[in-house]
Amino acid sequence: MVSALYPGSFDPVTRGHIDLVERALPLFDHLTVAVAVNSSKAPTFAAEERVAMLREVMPADPRLSVTTFRGLVVDFCRSQGIGAVLRGVRTVSDFEYEYQMALTNRHLAPGIETVFVMPSVQYSYVSSSLIREIVRNGGDVSSFLPPPVERRLRERLCP
Ligand code: COA
Answer whether 36's CB lies under 8 Å from 66's CB.
no
Is 150 contained in some domain? no
Please report the pLDDT score of residue 1 as a whole number: 83
Ligand 1 mean position, distance from CA 83 (Å): 19
Strand 3-8 to 30-36 pairing: parallel
The CATH number for 119's domain is 3.40.50.620
Is 47 contained in some domain? yes
Is 115's pLDDT higher than 80? yes
| Atom number of ligand 1 nearest to Cα 38 | 39
* Cβ-based neighbour number of residue 118 at 10 Å: 15
Is 131 contained in some domain? no
Number of domains within the chain = 1
Please report the pLDDT score of residue 44 as a whole number: 97
Q: 106-116: buried (b, 16+ CB within 10 Å) or exposed (e) per residue?
A: eeebeebebee
pLDDT tens digits, one per residue of 8-19 = 999 999 999 999
Is 38's pLDDT higher than 90? no
Please report the pLDDT score of residue 157 as a whole number: 97
90 is catalytic: yes
Is 151 contained in some domain? no
In angstroms, the CA 120 to CA 15 distance is 10
Is 143 contained in some domain? no
pTM, 2 dp = 0.95
Is 133 contained in some domain? no
pLDDT interval class at 39 (50, 70, 90): confident
SS3 100: helix
In angstroms, the CA 23 to CA 35 distance is 19
41 is catalytic: yes
pLDDT tens digits, one per residue of 73-101 = 999 999 999 999 999 998 888 899 999 99
Among residues of the chain, what percentage have pLDDT more than 90? 91
Average confidence (pLDDT) over 57-71: 97
Residues with CB under 6 A from ligand 1: 7-9, 11, 14, 16-17, 20, 36, 39, 41, 72-73, 88, 90, 101, 104-105, 119, 123, 126-129
Residue to substitute in 13, 108, 114, 127 for testing ligand 1 pocket (most ligand atoms within 8 angstroms of CB): 127
Q: 27-46: buried (b, 16+ CB within 10 Å) or exposed (e) per residue?
A: ebebbbbbbbeeeeeebbbe
User: What is the residue range of 63's domain?
Assistant: 3-124
Mean pLDDT for the chain overall: 96
